[in-house]
């Protein structure tokens, strides 16, 4: 009896569905969304601008006056890294992006290991296989200054697994040999800076708070 009832119900349901089908198709109309989006919306806030540049200001190891700035600029699928240092001992110094944006330890070990989202081995910035954070060496002149400019496709400024934002740049006391794993044997850490995103300049007339580094507010709770 139960099976019979179930089958009768199923048959009835099929009939109902069949009867409804043409009606449903007839109701299906494209929503007039295009028309709405083309209307000007004067009161709505513009979307949060994607940060396309980020920078770090180097802090020196205690007792030294090493300083510098590093900027990261998204250029298509690559990121250009520009670094300038002063107050550094003349010679060759390894320079990396490390995985943790924390320069609180006196020896900067709080910045952790080289940033390595691809689980690769350490190398030179020109090597196909390398840490995303392997930015090579900087030559410091006799006056204590030096600079570096390179482009890497292993980093982004925009949020994502390879984003440089929230990581730490580290200048080392020695040269990176591009061979020793996983550090390049670059010695101690003499300067450290946390990479922070910069918001795009606000368009003229817009009243935007400088909140580029913060995520957008969460959506209202669903019912």
Nearer to Cu ion, 61 or 96 (CB): 96
Q: Is omega for the bond preceding 182 within 30 degrees of 0, making it cis?
A: yes
170 binds, among Zn ion, Cu ion, none (CB under 5 to 8 A by kind): Cu ion
Beta strand spans in 107-221 (E): 134-140, 146-152, 168-172, 189-194, 196-198
Nearer to Zn ion, 113 or 208 (CB): 113
Applying CB under 5 A, which residues contact Cu ion? 96, 170
Least separation, in Å, of the C-beta of 169 and Zn ion? 13
Rounded Cα distance between 125 and 111, Å, is: 20
Residues known to be catalytic: 96, 98, 114, 122, 131, 134, 172, 189
Least separation, in Å, of the C-beta of 151 and Cu ion? 19
User: Pseudo-torsion of CA 179, 181, 186, 191, nearest 10°?
Assistant: 130
Least separation, in Å, of the C-beta of 120 and Zn ion? 8
Rounded Cα distance between 85 and 192, Å, is: 11
H or E segment to which residue 18 belongs: helix 2-27
Least separation, in Å, of the C-beta of 98 and Cu ion? 6
Rounded Cα distance between 217 and 220, Å, is: 9
Q: What are phi and psi of 16, to 5 degrees?
A: -60, -45
Nearer to Zn ion, 65 or 129 (CB): 129
171 in Cβ contact with 131 (< 8 Å)? no
Least separation, in Å, of the C-beta of 66 and Cu ion? 14
Nearer to Cu ion, 98 or 198 (CB): 98
In Å, how far are 195, 208, 215, 216 from 46, measured between CA atoms? 26, 9, 15, 12
131 binds, among Zn ion, Cu ion, none (CB under 5 to 8 A by kind): Zn ion
167 binds, among Cu ion, Zn ion, none (CB under 5 to 8 A by kind): none
Nearest residue to Cu ion, scored by beta-carbon proximity: 96
CA-nearest of 164, 145, 136 to 53 is 164
Applying CB under 5 A, which residues contact Zn ion? 114, 122, 131, 134
């Amino acid at each position: 009896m139960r099976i019979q009832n179930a089958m009768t119900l199923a048959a009835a349901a099929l009939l109902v569905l069949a009867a409804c089908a043409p009606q449903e198709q007839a109701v299906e109309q494209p929503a007039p969304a295009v028309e709405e989006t083309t209307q000007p919306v004067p009161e709505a806030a513009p979307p949060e601008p994607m940060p396309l540049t980020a920078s770090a200001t180097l802090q020196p190891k205690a007792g030294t006056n090493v300083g510098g700035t590093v900027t990261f600029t998204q250029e298509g699928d690559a990121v250009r890294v520009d670094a300038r240092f002063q107050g550094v001992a003349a010679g060759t110094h390894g320079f990396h992006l490390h995985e943790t944006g924390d320069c609180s330890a006196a020896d900067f070990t709080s910045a952790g290991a080289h940033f390595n989202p691809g689980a690769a081995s350490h190398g030179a910035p020109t090597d196909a296989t390398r840490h995303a954070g392997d930015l090579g060496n900087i030559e410091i002149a006799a006056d204590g200054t030096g600079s570096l400019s390179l482009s890497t496709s292993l980093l982004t400024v925009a949020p994502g697994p390879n984003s440089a934002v929230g990581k730490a740049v580290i200048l080392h006391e020695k040269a990176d040999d591009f061979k020793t794993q996983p550090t390049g044997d670059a010695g101690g850490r003499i300067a450290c800076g946390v990479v922070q995103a910069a918001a795009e300049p606000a368009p003229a007339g817009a009243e935007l708070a400088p909140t580029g580094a913060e995520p957008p507010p969460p959506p209202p709770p669903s019912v």
